[in-house]
Amino acid sequence: MHKIALTYLLLFAALNLGFVFPTVTSSKLDVSSAIITWEDDDPLSWHDFKGKAKTWGGISALTASAIEYSYDCYGDQLDLDVKAIFIPDESWVKQEAKTDYILAHEQLHFDITEIYARKLRQELSIQVKTCRDVWRIERIANKVIDEWKD
């Protein structure tokens, strides 16, 4: 058995005027705190933003979302898992920014993360069929993650 799990994090911030701040960081990450997995019928609420608001100039909210992928190999049987996650302890909002507009904006960041998780899931399902193909996973994931960052 071989198991690997990697998580790539992007931070998205909303300026007070509602514009998107460029990506703050991206990295491989060990997510040990509580996470929320993207679900179509379960949108974010302000209660999900549990991080302490930062005083960065002009930023009113920050969404920490990530694409997490893992695979298991049992002999040549391959089990792939890809999901978009939201990290509450790293996501925050300033009190004065808790509007429906800003929440919808932050939800869009999480939705975009799900779009790229789906793209990664699709690419992996096409190019990685068995455990003999796992060497392709990192290359494919890096390509999709780079597109997501852009």
Q: Which residue has the tokens 């379960």?
A: 42
Measured distance CA(93)–CA(97) in Å, rounded: 7
Over the range 114-141, which residues count as b (16 or more CB within 10 Å of their CB) and which as e? bebbebbbebbeeebeebeebeebeebb
Task: Encode the chain (150 residues) as per-residue pLDDT tens digits.
Answer: 444 555 566 666 544 433 333 333 344 455 556 899 999 999 999 999 999 998 877 889 999 999 998 889 888 789 999 999 999 999 999 999 999 999 999 999 999 999 999 999 999 999 999 888 888 998 999 999 889 888
3-state secondary structure 75-120: CCEEEEEEEEEECHHHCEECHHHCCHHHHHHHHHHHHHHHHHHHHH
Identify the H or E element spanning 13: strand 2-15
Measured distance CA(150)–CA(147) in Å, rounded: 5
What is the per-residue pLDDT across 71-98, written as a single tens digit (0 to 9) for each?
898 887 899 999 999 999 999 999 999 9
Measured distance CA(62)–CA(105) in Å, rounded: 10
> Closest by alpha carbon to 148, among 87, 80, 68?
68
